[in-house]
């Protein structure tokens, strides 16, 4: 009916339509994006309410009260009006005829943080948290961490993302990072909130400050590309297990060289990939953190195989 024009649908939502509106319906609608109100616009709405609302007209609402509400209302006019009304009720209950910034603070009325566990803001804040750690900014990282925690996000969700980050964005540049995060996870499960916030913040700051490398993800992506190209290539016979006499007679394990019997713990010239693939450099360590040492050793081993 919407597509045929039988029904004209006009709707408003505080959620992102991409998450909150049925995709088939959304494709037939024109979406208008309304930005958050600026603090000055919020202040204008509040002054208009003070001038025209019967419940507020007899009260003196100071500029500092209006500015304080406009600053913390997060661009939401409805929230700002609710905060003003709560402050006015508090003033009347205490026999005051003035609403000041102190009245607002005493009324204990604050705007809830903009956050939705299943909607856009959930993903926005989570993305900002991850990108801040990746960008090695501990200040921004702990800020976004507290935005999530104070908005009611499940700390175990945050810790899962941090475990992923420790391998995806740190990897062998600092192998300790994974231990730090898994220890923080264990500590949080043991402590709960609010004390569990200490290991959570501890691990966040560690991840933000340590060396970074995405070589782990690059390596398994390249390995997967080889599998897609060559399929299930046969395992070289020298690398196969030979638990039976028949397998040994068939050449399983023949020619295998035990790496610990060689200087440096590796076999010069040896290859472990399928024969049809030959040599391939899938893991390319960076020169950051511990990977600098790994890169030097790996270069020497690869040179011996050429």
Domain with CATH 1.10.8.60 in the chain: 39-106
Contact (CB, 8 A) for 245 and 169:
no
Question: What average pLDDT does the chain have?
Answer: 87
Helix (H, G, I), strand (E, B), or coil: what is residue 61? strand
Q: How far apart are CA 133 and CA 127, in angstroms?
A: 10
| pLDDT computed for residue 6 by the predictor | 75
pLDDT at 28 over 80: no
Helical ranges in the chain per DSSP H: 17-20, 23-26, 39-52, 54-57, 63-72, 77-93, 101-106, 120-134, 138-150, 155-165, 176-191, 197-209, 215-230, 245-249, 291-305
Phi, psi of 99 (to 5 degrees): -110, 115
Contact (CB, 8 A) for 104 and 73:
no
Q: How far apart are CA 140 and CA 157, in angstroms?
A: 19
Q: How far apart are CA 110 and CA 105, in angstroms?
A: 8
- Which run of H or of E encompasses 287? none
Q: Which residues pair with 61 in a beta bridge?
A: 99
| pLDDT computed for residue 272 by the predictor | 86
pLDDT at 3 over 80: no
pTM above 0.75, yes or no: no
Topology adopted by domain 39-106: Helicase, Ruva Protein; domain 3 (1.10.8)
pLDDT at 117 over 70: no
Helix (H, G, I), strand (E, B), or coil: what is residue 110? coil
pLDDT at 22 over 80: no
> What mean pLDDT do residues 239-255 have?
88
Contact (CB, 8 A) for 151 and 124:
no
Mean pLDDT is highest, among 67-71, 81-85, 127-131, 277-281, for 127-131
Helix (H, G, I), strand (E, B), or coil: what is residue 108? coil
| pLDDT computed for residue 90 by the predictor | 80
| pLDDT computed for residue 107 by the predictor | 66
Percent of the chain clearing pLDDT 90 (strictly above): 40
> What mean pLDDT do residues 128-139 have?
97
- Own/partner pairs for 176-185, CB < 8 Å, 24+ apart? 176/210, 177/206, 177/207, 177/210, 180/206, 180/207, 181/206, 181/207, 184/159, 185/156, 185/159
What Rg, from alpha-carbon coordinates, does the chain have? 30
Q: Which residue has the higher pLDDT, 145 or 89?
A: 145
Q: How far apart are CA 216 and CA 170, in angstroms?
A: 9
pLDDT at 19 over 80: no
| pLDDT computed for residue 119 by the predictor | 55
| pLDDT computed for residue 114 by the predictor | 53
Report pLDDT digits (tens) over 283-305: 999 999 999 999 998 898 888 77
Contact (CB, 8 A) for 14 and 37:
no
Domain with CATH 1.10.3710 in the chain: 233-305
120-209: in CATH 1.20.272.10: yes
For residue 295, give the nearest of 226, 197, 225, 211 by alpha carbon. Answer: 211
> Which of these ranges, 15-19, 77-81, 188-192, has the smallest mean pLDDT?
15-19
| pLDDT computed for residue 290 by the predictor | 94
Q: How far apart are CA 145 and CA 223, in angstroms?
A: 34
pLDDT at 201 over 90: yes
Thinking of the domain 233-305, which architecture would CATH place it in? Orthogonal Bundle (1.10)
pLDDT at 54 over 80: no
Confidence of residue 165 (pLDDT cuts 50, 70, 90): very high
pLDDT at 279 over 60: yes
Count of alpha carbons within 13 angstroms of residue 273, beta-carbon side: 15
Q: Which residue has the higher pLDDT, 11 or 232?
A: 232
| pLDDT computed for residue 116 by the predictor | 53
| pLDDT computed for residue 300 by the predictor | 85
| pLDDT computed for residue 174 by the predictor | 97
Domain with CATH 1.20.272.10 in the chain: 120-209
Confidence of residue 2 (pLDDT cuts 50, 70, 90): low
């Amino acid at each position: 009916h919407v597509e045929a024009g039988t029904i004209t649908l006009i709707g408003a939502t505080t959620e992102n339509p991409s998450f909150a509106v049925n995709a088939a319906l959304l494709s037939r609608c024109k979406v208008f994006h309304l930005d958050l109100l600026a603090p000055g616009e919020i202040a204008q709405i509040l002054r208009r309410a003070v001038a025209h609302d019967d419940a507020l007209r007899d009260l003196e609402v100071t500029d500092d009260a209006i500015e304080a509400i406009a600053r913390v209302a997060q661009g939401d006019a409805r929230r700002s009006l609710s905060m003003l009304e709560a402050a006015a009720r508090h003033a009347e209950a205490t026999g005051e005829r003035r609403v000041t910034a102190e009245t607002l603070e005493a009324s204990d009325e604050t705007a809830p943080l903009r956050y939705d566990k299943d909607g856009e803001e959930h993903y926005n804040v989570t993305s900002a948290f991850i990108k801040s750690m990746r960008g090695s900014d501990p200040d921004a990282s702990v800020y976004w961490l507290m935005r999530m925690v104070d908005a009611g996000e499940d700390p175990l969700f945050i810790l899962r993302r941090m475990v992923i980050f420790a391998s995806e964005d740190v990897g062998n540049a600092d192998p300790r990072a994974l231990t730090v995060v898994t220890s923080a996870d264990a500590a949080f499960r043991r402590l709960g909130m609010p004390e569990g916030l200490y290991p959570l913040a501890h691990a966040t700051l560690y991840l933000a400050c340590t060396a970074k490398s995405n070589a782990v993800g690059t390596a398994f992506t390249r390995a997967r590309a080889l599998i897609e190209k060559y399929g299930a290539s046969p395992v070289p016979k020298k690398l196969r297990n030979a638990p039976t006499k028949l397998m040994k007679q068939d050449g399983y394990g023949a020619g295998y060289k035990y790496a610990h019997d060689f200087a440096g713990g590796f076999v010069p010239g040896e290859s472990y990939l399928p024969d049809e693939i030959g040599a391939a450099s899938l893991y390319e360590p960076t020169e950051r953190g511990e990977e600098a040492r790994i890169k030097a050793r790996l270069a020497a081993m690869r040179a011996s195989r050429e």
